[in-house]
Amino acid sequence: MLTSSADDPPIAAAAPTPPTAAVRRRRARFLAVLGTAVALLALVVVASLLLGVRTVAPGEVWAALGAGAAGRSPANADQAVVLQLRVPRTVLGLLAGLALGCVGTVIQGVTRNPLADPGLLGITPGASLAVVVGVSFFGVVTPLGFVWFAFAGAALAAVVVFAIGRAQPVRLALVGAALTAFITPVIALLLLSDVQAFNQYRFWAVGSLAARGLDTVSALWPFLAVGVALTALLAPRLTLLSMGDDVAAALGQDVRVTRAMAAVAIVVLAGVATAFAGPIALVGLVVPHAARRLVGPDYRRLAPVAALLGPVVLLGADVVGRLIVPNAELEAGVVAAFVGAPVLVAVARGRLVAEV
């Protein structure tokens, strides 16, 4: 037996292994990307408040925000534009972009499919169909009414796609495309038979942040909070799942629980984003790819970057849409589609596909 005397020096505890140079570089890169994303987000928020068909001076924006915080009425037309139109539009863009960035990350991670996107997999069209049904048959016009129908449609579409696709990337894409091809004419048929529903739906369907107030935010923010919290909990699980189901299970993860949590997050986030801004296409595809190329495939880093880049892309598209057409506006969904379509083509050609 080994013994030690009082004169022997104490045995020191094993010191933790210092991080390697590669780990330090990855950490520094992540912090730099995160800081840049925060700066870009602040920039597009300021641009969203300042720019549009009517350009407002920075001093008037600041005065309008002060009046709003104090509960005072706007002093002039510029302040009224900021408080009544641009502040709600900016807040909606932030929250809808956050939802789209998170749902794109989760859906690509859980399916290990670089083409996965709520719109491409039929989830957003399912939510749109449910909203049309709510407008046509139930007379729904309130934000809280929209969200319940959007949730129901997104949930049903997700169940169909995942049940038939069985988490296989190619099958999921094919089932999503087939479901979208089925839903689109059904929506058109319903709208053609109901002029009032068409008038309510046509502005919402192109994907826009206009004509919505902060009452939408007050109705929907708890659902968004649940979806974002689930995304944060899923981030380390998705990193393990990206190595394969067998590896994740061998490392102690219950894959079924992960997929169930991801399904709830996808339904909630896709439903909220659709209720906030309509069916915005391709943002959920572009943002996770950009985040992956910037910080790598670890979802603990990818998820927060995507959550910041989502609002940057959507609000940026909204600001560009206000400026690109003289004396008019182009909806954010149209501008986002112009940005996302080339990325989708590049992904399909294999140029931007990274390890998911």
pLDDT of residue 22: 79
Alpha helices in 71-168 (DSSP H): 77-81, 87-111, 123-138, 143-165
Q: Judge residue 35's burial from the number of C-beta atoms within 10 Å of its C-beta, 0-12 exposed, 13-18 middle, 19 or more buried.
A: exposed
* Global confidence as pTM: 0.86
Q: What is the pLDDT of residues 3-54, one digit of tens each?
A: 444 455 454 444 455 668 877 888 899 999 999 999 999 999 999 999 988 8
More confident call, 165 vs 318: 318
Q: What is the CA radius of gyration of the chain?
A: 23
Average pLDDT over residues 160-172: 78
d(CA 123, CA 270) in angstroms, rounded, equals: 7
Half-sphere exposure of 198 (CA within 13 A, CB side): 8
One-letter amino acid identity for 293?
Answer: R
Domain-by-domain residue ranges, the chain? Answer: 76-349
Contacts of 53 (CB under 8 A, 6+ apart): 322, 327, 328, 329
C-alpha distance from residue 226 to each of 117, 220, 232, 286, 297 (Å): 20, 10, 10, 23, 24
What is the reported pLDDT for 350?
60
> Out of 2.60.40.10, 1.10.3470.10, 3.40.50.720, 3.10.105.10, which CATH number does the structure's domain 76-349 have?
1.10.3470.10
